[in-house]
Amino acid sequence: MVLQLVKAAKQKFLSEFDLTPAQAHLLLELDPERPEPMSDVATTLGCDASNVTGLVDRLEERGLIERRSASTDRRVKMVAVTPTGSRLRSKLLEYWYEAPAPIAGLPQRDARELLRILRKAAG
Amino acid sequence: MVLQLVKAAKQKFLSEFDLTPAQAHLLLELDPERPEPMSDVATTLGCDASNVTGLVDRLEERGLIERRSASTDRRVKMVAVTPTGSRLRSKLLEYWYEAPAPIAGLPQRDARELLRILRKAAG
DNA sequence: GCCAATAATTGAGATAGTCAACTATTGTCA
DNA sequence: TGACAATAGTTGACTATCTCAATTATTGGC
Protein backbone atom coordinates (compact mmCIF):
# COMPACT_ATOMS: atom_id res chain seq x y z
CA MET A 1 0.00 0.00 0.00
CA VAL A 2 2.71 2.42 1.04
CA LEU A 3 4.85 1.01 -1.74
CA GLN A 4 2.04 1.58 -4.24
CA LEU A 5 1.98 5.26 -3.38
CA VAL A 6 5.74 5.66 -3.51
CA LYS A 7 5.83 3.90 -6.87
CA ALA A 8 3.06 6.06 -8.31
CA ALA A 9 4.78 9.24 -7.11
CA LYS A 10 8.07 8.13 -8.63
CA GLN A 11 6.48 7.37 -11.99
CA LYS A 12 4.69 10.69 -12.02
CA PHE A 13 7.93 12.49 -11.22
CA LEU A 14 9.83 10.68 -13.98
CA SER A 15 7.13 11.27 -16.57
CA GLU A 16 7.31 15.00 -15.88
CA PHE A 17 10.88 14.86 -17.15
CA ASP A 18 10.11 12.34 -19.87
CA LEU A 19 12.52 9.87 -18.36
CA THR A 20 11.95 6.13 -18.14
CA PRO A 21 13.22 4.37 -15.02
CA ALA A 22 16.13 2.87 -16.94
CA GLN A 23 17.12 6.27 -18.31
CA ALA A 24 16.96 7.88 -14.86
CA HIS A 25 19.02 5.04 -13.46
CA LEU A 26 21.70 5.58 -16.08
CA LEU A 27 21.80 9.33 -15.59
CA LEU A 28 22.09 8.97 -11.82
CA GLU A 29 24.86 6.45 -12.12
CA LEU A 30 27.05 8.75 -14.20
CA ASP A 31 29.45 11.18 -12.54
CA PRO A 32 29.24 14.54 -14.36
CA GLU A 33 32.85 15.16 -13.39
CA ARG A 34 34.19 11.91 -14.74
CA PRO A 35 33.18 10.48 -18.15
CA GLU A 36 33.14 6.70 -18.20
CA PRO A 37 33.66 4.07 -20.94
CA MET A 38 30.49 2.38 -22.25
CA SER A 39 31.73 -0.99 -21.00
CA ASP A 40 32.12 0.34 -17.45
CA VAL A 41 28.58 1.66 -17.58
CA ALA A 42 27.35 -1.77 -18.64
CA THR A 43 29.19 -3.37 -15.73
CA THR A 44 27.80 -0.88 -13.25
CA LEU A 45 24.25 -1.27 -14.50
CA GLY A 46 24.70 -5.02 -14.58
CA CYS A 47 23.38 -5.36 -18.13
CA ASP A 48 24.58 -6.20 -21.63
CA ALA A 49 26.75 -3.69 -23.47
CA SER A 50 24.33 -3.60 -26.39
CA ASN A 51 21.63 -2.44 -24.05
CA VAL A 52 23.77 0.52 -23.00
CA THR A 53 24.15 1.49 -26.66
CA GLY A 54 20.39 1.97 -26.92
CA LEU A 55 20.04 3.82 -23.64
CA VAL A 56 22.88 6.17 -24.46
CA ASP A 57 21.44 6.71 -27.96
CA ARG A 58 18.17 8.00 -26.55
CA LEU A 59 19.69 10.23 -23.88
CA GLU A 60 22.23 11.58 -26.35
CA GLU A 61 19.45 12.51 -28.80
CA ARG A 62 18.01 14.68 -26.07
CA GLY A 63 21.35 16.31 -25.34
CA LEU A 64 21.59 15.03 -21.78
CA ILE A 65 24.76 13.05 -22.33
CA GLU A 66 27.28 12.66 -25.14
CA ARG A 67 29.82 10.21 -26.47
CA ARG A 68 33.43 11.34 -26.55
CA SER A 69 36.31 9.38 -27.99
CA ALA A 70 39.02 8.35 -25.57
CA SER A 71 42.48 9.72 -26.26
CA THR A 72 44.31 6.49 -25.55
CA ASP A 73 42.16 3.85 -27.24
CA ARG A 74 40.11 4.59 -30.32
CA ARG A 75 37.79 1.66 -29.65
CA VAL A 76 36.58 3.19 -26.40
CA LYS A 77 33.79 5.77 -26.18
CA MET A 78 33.44 7.77 -23.02
CA VAL A 79 29.96 8.68 -21.83
CA ALA A 80 29.90 12.26 -20.55
CA VAL A 81 27.07 14.19 -18.90
CA THR A 82 26.34 17.51 -20.62
CA PRO A 83 25.56 20.68 -18.61
CA THR A 84 21.86 20.22 -19.41
CA GLY A 85 22.07 16.60 -18.32
CA SER A 86 23.86 17.58 -15.15
CA ARG A 87 21.12 20.02 -14.18
CA LEU A 88 18.44 17.40 -14.72
CA ARG A 89 20.52 14.88 -12.80
CA SER A 90 20.68 17.24 -9.83
CA LYS A 91 16.91 17.50 -9.72
CA LEU A 92 16.66 13.74 -9.86
CA LEU A 93 19.17 13.34 -7.04
CA GLU A 94 17.31 15.84 -4.95
CA TYR A 95 14.11 13.90 -5.37
CA TRP A 96 15.75 10.52 -5.07
CA TYR A 97 17.34 11.22 -1.73
CA GLU A 98 14.26 12.85 -0.34
CA ALA A 99 12.87 10.31 2.12
CA PRO A 100 9.52 8.78 1.26
CA ALA A 101 6.78 10.43 3.30
CA PRO A 102 6.27 7.65 5.87
CA ILE A 103 9.96 7.66 6.74
CA ALA A 104 10.15 11.45 6.78
CA GLY A 105 7.31 11.47 9.29
CA LEU A 106 9.24 9.51 11.92
CA PRO A 107 10.15 11.18 15.21
CA GLN A 108 13.71 12.49 15.07
CA ARG A 109 14.96 9.94 17.60
CA ASP A 110 13.80 7.06 15.42
CA ALA A 111 15.09 8.67 12.24
CA ARG A 112 18.57 8.96 13.75
CA GLU A 113 18.52 5.36 14.93
CA LEU A 114 17.36 4.17 11.51
CA LEU A 115 20.19 6.00 9.82
CA ARG A 116 22.75 4.60 12.25
CA ILE A 117 21.58 1.01 11.75
CA LEU A 118 21.44 1.25 7.97
CA ARG A 119 24.92 2.78 7.90
CA LYS A 120 26.21 -0.12 9.94
CA ALA A 121 24.50 -2.60 7.61
CA ALA A 122 26.05 -0.94 4.59
CA GLY A 123 29.48 -1.49 6.12
CA MET B 1 27.59 -1.67 -4.38
CA VAL B 2 25.49 -3.58 -1.88
CA LEU B 3 22.48 -2.93 -4.09
CA GLN B 4 24.37 -4.27 -7.11
CA LEU B 5 24.92 -7.58 -5.34
CA VAL B 6 21.34 -7.86 -4.11
CA LYS B 7 20.06 -7.10 -7.59
CA ALA B 8 22.32 -9.65 -9.23
CA ALA B 9 21.28 -12.31 -6.72
CA LYS B 10 17.62 -11.54 -7.33
CA GLN B 11 18.00 -11.78 -11.11
CA LYS B 12 19.87 -15.04 -10.83
CA PHE B 13 17.17 -16.43 -8.56
CA LEU B 14 14.39 -15.38 -10.93
CA SER B 15 16.13 -16.75 -14.00
CA GLU B 16 16.39 -20.14 -12.31
CA PHE B 17 12.60 -20.23 -12.33
CA ASP B 18 12.31 -18.59 -15.74
CA LEU B 19 10.38 -15.70 -14.27
CA THR B 20 10.77 -12.08 -15.27
CA PRO B 21 10.51 -9.47 -12.50
CA ALA B 22 7.03 -8.47 -13.70
CA GLN B 23 5.84 -12.07 -13.70
CA ALA B 24 7.20 -12.67 -10.19
CA HIS B 25 5.55 -9.47 -9.05
CA LEU B 26 2.19 -10.62 -10.38
CA LEU B 27 2.47 -14.09 -8.88
CA LEU B 28 3.40 -12.69 -5.47
CA GLU B 29 0.55 -10.24 -5.53
CA LEU B 30 -2.06 -12.94 -6.07
CA ASP B 31 -3.65 -14.72 -3.13
CA PRO B 32 -3.86 -18.46 -3.94
CA GLU B 33 -6.91 -18.66 -1.70
CA ARG B 34 -8.81 -15.85 -3.36
CA PRO B 35 -9.04 -15.46 -7.17
CA GLU B 36 -9.23 -11.85 -8.27
CA PRO B 37 -10.75 -10.06 -11.29
CA MET B 38 -8.29 -8.91 -13.98
CA SER B 39 -9.23 -5.30 -13.36
CA ASP B 40 -8.37 -5.56 -9.67
CA VAL B 41 -5.00 -7.01 -10.58
CA ALA B 42 -4.37 -4.05 -12.88
CA THR B 43 -5.25 -1.64 -10.10
CA THR B 44 -2.99 -3.38 -7.62
CA LEU B 45 -0.07 -3.51 -10.01
CA GLY B 46 -0.73 0.08 -10.99
CA CYS B 47 -0.66 -0.61 -14.72
CA ASP B 48 -2.97 -0.74 -17.71
CA ALA B 49 -5.51 -3.58 -17.98
CA SER B 50 -4.15 -4.56 -21.40
CA ASN B 51 -0.78 -5.14 -19.84
CA VAL B 52 -2.29 -7.60 -17.38
CA THR B 53 -3.78 -9.52 -20.30
CA GLY B 54 -0.28 -10.22 -21.63
CA LEU B 55 1.21 -11.08 -18.25
CA VAL B 56 -1.63 -13.46 -17.43
CA ASP B 57 -1.35 -15.00 -20.92
CA ARG B 58 2.27 -15.96 -20.36
CA LEU B 59 1.82 -17.31 -16.83
CA GLU B 60 -1.30 -19.19 -17.87
CA GLU B 61 0.60 -20.87 -20.74
CA ARG B 62 2.96 -22.24 -18.13
CA GLY B 63 0.14 -23.48 -15.94
CA LEU B 64 0.98 -21.27 -13.00
CA ILE B 65 -2.31 -19.40 -13.00
CA GLU B 66 -5.61 -19.71 -14.84
CA ARG B 67 -8.61 -17.63 -15.87
CA ARG B 68 -11.97 -18.59 -14.45
CA SER B 69 -15.27 -17.02 -15.31
CA ALA B 70 -17.11 -15.27 -12.52
CA SER B 71 -20.51 -16.65 -11.65
CA THR B 72 -22.19 -13.29 -11.25
CA ASP B 73 -20.89 -11.28 -14.21
CA ARG B 74 -19.95 -12.89 -17.48
CA ARG B 75 -17.69 -10.00 -18.42
CA VAL B 76 -15.39 -10.64 -15.49
CA LYS B 77 -12.54 -13.15 -15.52
CA MET B 78 -11.02 -14.20 -12.23
CA VAL B 79 -7.30 -14.88 -12.05
CA ALA B 80 -6.62 -17.97 -9.93
CA VAL B 81 -3.30 -19.47 -8.84
CA THR B 82 -2.96 -23.16 -9.71
CA PRO B 83 -1.41 -25.67 -7.29
CA THR B 84 1.81 -25.58 -9.35
CA GLY B 85 1.77 -21.80 -9.27
CA SER B 86 1.14 -21.81 -5.56
CA ARG B 87 4.18 -23.98 -4.91
CA LEU B 88 6.40 -21.71 -6.99
CA ARG B 89 4.91 -18.69 -5.28
CA SER B 90 5.84 -20.12 -1.87
CA LYS B 91 9.46 -20.48 -2.93
CA LEU B 92 9.44 -16.90 -4.17
CA LEU B 93 7.95 -15.66 -0.91
CA GLU B 94 10.52 -17.56 1.08
CA TYR B 95 13.32 -15.93 -0.86
CA TRP B 96 11.66 -12.54 -1.00
CA TYR B 97 11.28 -12.21 2.72
CA GLU B 98 14.71 -13.51 3.46
CA ALA B 99 16.68 -10.46 4.55
CA PRO B 100 19.52 -9.37 2.25
CA ALA B 101 22.85 -10.51 3.67
CA PRO B 102 24.02 -7.13 5.03
CA ILE B 103 20.82 -6.71 7.04
CA ALA B 104 20.83 -10.31 8.21
CA GLY B 105 24.32 -9.75 9.56
CA LEU B 106 23.26 -7.03 11.99
CA PRO B 107 23.57 -7.63 15.73
CA GLN B 108 20.22 -8.74 17.16
CA ARG B 109 19.75 -5.50 19.12
CA ASP B 110 20.00 -3.45 15.92
CA ALA B 111 17.81 -5.82 13.97
CA ARG B 112 15.05 -5.48 16.57
CA GLU B 113 15.32 -1.69 16.55
CA LEU B 114 15.23 -1.61 12.76
CA LEU B 115 12.09 -3.70 12.69
CA ARG B 116 10.42 -1.53 15.33
CA ILE B 117 11.18 1.68 13.44
CA LEU B 118 10.08 0.36 10.06
CA ARG B 119 6.86 -0.95 11.57
CA LYS B 120 6.17 2.47 13.01
CA ALA B 121 6.90 4.10 9.64
CA ALA B 122 4.54 1.70 7.89
CA GLY B 123 1.79 2.84 10.23
C1' DG C 1 52.99 -8.72 -39.52
C1' DC C 2 49.63 -12.34 -38.13
C1' DC C 3 46.03 -13.17 -34.92
C1' DA C 4 43.57 -13.45 -30.69
C1' DA C 5 41.26 -10.28 -27.58
C1' DT C 6 38.53 -6.16 -26.66
C1' DA C 7 34.96 -2.04 -27.37
C1' DA C 8 31.13 -0.87 -29.36
C1' DT C 9 27.41 -1.50 -32.64
C1' DT C 10 23.81 -3.96 -35.22
C1' DG C 11 19.97 -7.11 -35.88
C1' DA C 12 16.73 -10.58 -34.27
C1' DG C 13 13.53 -11.75 -30.90
C1' DA C 14 11.03 -11.63 -26.37
C1' DT C 15 8.86 -9.00 -22.61
C1' DA C 16 6.78 -4.92 -20.72
C1' DG C 17 4.35 -0.96 -20.94
C1' DT C 18 0.99 2.75 -23.01
C1' DC C 19 -3.04 4.20 -25.60
C1' DA C 20 -7.02 3.79 -28.72
C1' DA C 21 -10.40 0.95 -30.73
C1' DC C 22 -13.36 -3.01 -30.38
C1' DT C 23 -16.53 -6.89 -28.39
C1' DA C 24 -19.43 -8.59 -25.10
C1' DT C 25 -22.01 -7.91 -21.28
C1' DT C 26 -24.47 -5.31 -17.72
C1' DG C 27 -27.35 -1.79 -15.70
C1' DT C 28 -30.16 2.39 -16.03
C1' DC C 29 -34.16 4.83 -16.96
C1' DA C 30 -37.58 6.96 -19.85
C1' DT D 1 -39.23 -2.99 -22.59
C1' DG D 2 -35.83 -1.14 -25.41
C1' DA D 3 -32.23 2.21 -26.37
C1' DC D 4 -27.89 3.40 -24.58
C1' DA D 5 -24.17 4.54 -21.55
C1' DA D 6 -20.84 2.15 -18.67
C1' DT D 7 -17.79 -1.67 -17.61
C1' DA D 8 -14.45 -5.90 -18.33
C1' DG D 9 -11.42 -7.72 -21.10
C1' DT D 10 -8.95 -8.21 -25.46
C1' DT D 11 -6.55 -6.69 -29.62
C1' DG D 12 -3.40 -3.93 -32.41
C1' DA D 13 0.04 -0.38 -33.02
C1' DC D 14 3.89 1.53 -31.08
C1' DT D 15 8.01 2.35 -27.93
C1' DA D 16 11.42 0.91 -24.58
C1' DT D 17 14.19 -2.56 -22.41
C1' DC D 18 16.67 -6.46 -22.38
C1' DT D 19 19.45 -10.67 -24.15
C1' DC D 20 22.19 -13.11 -27.42
C1' DA D 21 24.86 -13.79 -31.66
C1' DA D 22 27.29 -11.75 -35.30
C1' DT D 23 30.01 -7.81 -37.12
C1' DT D 24 33.41 -3.94 -37.33
C1' DA D 25 37.27 -1.48 -35.79
C1' DT D 26 41.09 -1.30 -33.06
C1' DT D 27 44.66 -2.96 -30.04
C1' DG D 28 48.37 -5.78 -28.20
C1' DG D 29 51.16 -10.03 -28.01
C1' DC D 30 54.51 -12.84 -29.98
Flag if B117 and A121 touch (Cβ within 8 Å). no
One digit per residue, the tens of pLDDT, for chain A of length 123 reads 444 555 666 777 788 889 999 999 999 999 999 999 999 999 999 999 999 999 999 999 999 999 999 888 999 999 999 999 999 999 988 877 665 556 666 677 777 777 776 666 555
**Closest nucleotide to B74 by C1' from CA:** C25
Spatial distance between the Cα atoms of A46 and B13, rounded to a whole number of angstroms:
15
A48 touches strand D (CB under 7 A): yes
Residues A54 and A45: their CA atoms lie apart, in Å, by 13
Of A2, A1, A19, residue with least CA distance to A93: A19
Q: pLDDT tens, B76-116?
A: 999 999 999 999 999 988 877 665 556 666 677 777 777 77
The share of chain B scoring above pLDDT 90, in percent, equals 56
Three-state SS at B31: strand
Element (H, E) at A121: helix A108-121
C1’ C6 / CA B82, Å: 48
Residue A102 pLDDT: 60
Query: With bands split at pLDDT 50, 70 and 90, how would you rate the model's confidence at B1?
Result: very low
Counting every residue written for chain A, the total comes to: 123
Residues near chain C (nucleic strand), Cβ < 7 A?
A 37-40, 42, 49-50, 52-54, 56-57, 67, 73, 75-78; B 20-23, 46-48, 50-51, 54-55, 58, 73-75
Positions on chain D within 7 A of a protein C-beta: 7-13, 16-22, 25-28
Q: Chain A, 104-123: which CBs lie within 7 Å of strand D?
A: none
In this structure, are residues A52 and A45 in contact, taking their beta carbons and an 8 Å threshold? yes
User: What is the reported pLDDT for B123?
Assistant: 58
